Amino acid sequence: MSDSFPQDSVGLVKPQLFHFEEELTLRSGKSLNGFDLMVETYGELNADKSNAILICHALSGDHHAAGYHSAEDKKPGWWDNCIGPGKAIDTDKFFVVSLNNLGGCAGSSGPNTKNPETGTYYGPDFPVVTVRDWVKSQVMLMDRLGIPKWAAVIGGSLGGMQVLRWAISYPERLHHAICIAAAPKLSAQNIAFNEVARHSIVSDPNFHNGRYLEKGTSPKQGLMLARMVGHITYLSDSAMRAKFGQAVSAIDSTASNFGRDLRSGKLSFGFNVDFQVESYLRYQGERFSENFDANTYLLMTKALDYFDPSVDFDGDLSAAFANSDCKFLLVSFSTDWRFPPERSRELVNELLKAKRDVSYLEVDADEGHDAFLLPVPRYINAFRTYLNRVHGELCGDAT
């Protein structure tokens, strides 16, 4: 990376740590006696503080959604595709707030930070936090920033679930809820994949009941395996065929080889890596295991499993939305099999039942669940159009 960042980038950004003295009572009944949140903001808050947008991150995301931390950074933040001057979430128009959620491992209070009361790493003692708790802490951050009402709260996947929680629990504090590639709650299959991930982490000999940081080690193998499994669920069959099927089929040169590209051109007849997809997964898993905290992974997957806003309403999700006052935009992707379009349609139907204002797009995209992070043209255009409209409303443009 040279000194000059791309024109449509927010450029160099600096995270800020916010400390909260207040006690935060969690859904589990436990509480945090004060906590920290790591936050990045992009763009400028306008005079009447009406142009703020909250970004909610997904399972492995953090506060670094856009821009670069240094001129040497090879990659920008995780949602740089969408956030920046002139981009769908236009930082020339909006003040964008992005944070690392509680229990995360990128600077906010979490298992890899020290408990101020004991001076030792929280590790497995960090309380299990839920989507509801995250949103509660996000409200405290909002108050600290002096923002009365978000122009929009936006998130994909687990981030989309936070968006739904905002709409249900704090209806007076957001104008628009943009929920992408999410679900009303996890299916048994979703939970099953999470359980495989958790089991691989806790059965790693270096896990030490979650006290690996005190022992100066880390359950890297387990975390790597967890990520490999997770990664498969983020991609679609067609995306994998395309990604690992560059070589032509031996039988028919016009056909794809079903994504079976070999790594070294021939089979090894051993148990080493033969196919490109294997080495890709290993690489992704390894890289992830070096940068992510295993306890955080456990905690995030539990937050996913526990998410079900209908529980307070005898299982009737439409009743949960009865008091929501925002407008909703939902988006799903055709090849997403983690949270497929049917799951978003369930949400749409509950919102219709509750007579809420809702728009819904089902975008044809090959990239599976990952599509929500990628520059899929139809998705980005609709996203931009929607937010232009949101900005128009801020400027008092009624039509």
Partner 1 sequence: MRPDLEIIQKWIEPNSHVLDLGCGDGSLLHYLNETKNVKSIGLEIDEDNIEQCIANGVNVIEQNIDEGLANFESNSFDTVLLAQTLQALSNPHLLIEEMLRIGEKGIVTFPNFGNWKSRVYLASRGRMPVSKFMPHQWYDTPNIHFCTVYDFDALCREMDIRVLTRTVVDSQHQGSWAMRALPNLLGEIAIYHIARN
Of 6 and 375, the one with the shorter C-beta distance to partner 1 is 375
Residues 185-214 that bind partner 1 (CB under 8 A): none
Q: Which residues of 131-145 are buried (b: 16+ CB within 10 A; e: fewer)?
A: bbbbbbbbeebbeeb
Q: Does the protein bind partner 1 through residue 246 (CB under 8 A)?
A: no
Q: How many CB atoms lie within 10 A of CB 374?
A: 16
Among 25, 264, 355, 375, contact with partner 1 (rule: CB under 8 A): 355
Please, are residues 277 and 244 in contact by the beta-carbon 8 Å criterion? Answer: yes
Q: Does the protein bind partner 1 through residue 359 (CB under 8 A)?
A: yes
157 is catalytic: yes
Of 44 and 364, the one with the shorter C-beta distance to partner 1 is 364
Please, are residues 360 and 178 in contact by the beta-carbon 8 Å criterion? Answer: no
**Which among 157, 169, 200, 218 is annotated as catalytic?**
157
How far is it, in rounded angstroms, from Cα 53 to Cα 159? 13
Residues in Cβ contact with 202 at an 8 Å cutoff, skipping those fewer than 6 apart: 219, 222, 298
Report in angstroms how near the CB of residue 9 gets to partner 1 at its nearest. Answer: 26
Residue 255: both structure tokens together:
């056909």
Q: Does the protein bind partner 1 through residue 310 (CB under 8 A)?
A: no
**Which among 80, 261, 336, 370 is annotated as catalytic?**
336
Q: Express the helix, strand and coil content of the chain in percent, nearest 5 each.
A: 35, 15, 45
Report in angstroms how near the CB of residue 376 gets to partner 1 at its nearest. Answer: 12
Residue 111: both structure tokens together:
């298992």
Sole window of 130-138, 229-237, 306-314, 345-353 interacting with partner 1 (rule: CB under 8 A): 345-353
Among 139, 361, 380, 394, contact with partner 1 (rule: CB under 8 A): 361
Sole window of 235-243, 247-255, 308-316, 377-385 interacting with partner 1 (rule: CB under 8 A): 377-385
369 is catalytic: yes
Task: Classify burial at 105, counting beta carbons within 10 Å of its beta carbon; exposed 0-12, middle 13-18, buried 19 or more.
Answer: buried
Among 22, 189, 357, 395, contact with partner 1 (rule: CB under 8 A): 357
Residues 249-268 that bind partner 1 (CB under 8 A): none
Count residues near partner 1 (CB under 8 A). 24
Please, are residues 300 and 314 in contact by the beta-carbon 8 Å criterion? Answer: no
Half-sphere exposure at residue 297, Cβ-oriented, CA atoms within 13 angstroms: 32
- Closest among 90, 98, 95 to 40, alpha carbons compared: 98
Reported as type and span, the H/E element at residue 344 is: helix 341-353
Among 114, 352, 375, 395, contact with partner 1 (rule: CB under 8 A): 352
Report in angstroms how near the CB of residue 233 gets to partner 1 at its nearest. Answer: 24
Q: Does the protein bind partner 1 through residue 323 (CB under 8 A)?
A: no
Binding site for partner 1 (CB under 8 A): 327, 329, 345, 348-349, 352-353, 355, 357-362, 378, 381-382, 385-386, 388-389, 393, 398-399
User: Looking at the annotation, which residues are catalytic?
Assistant: 157, 336, 369
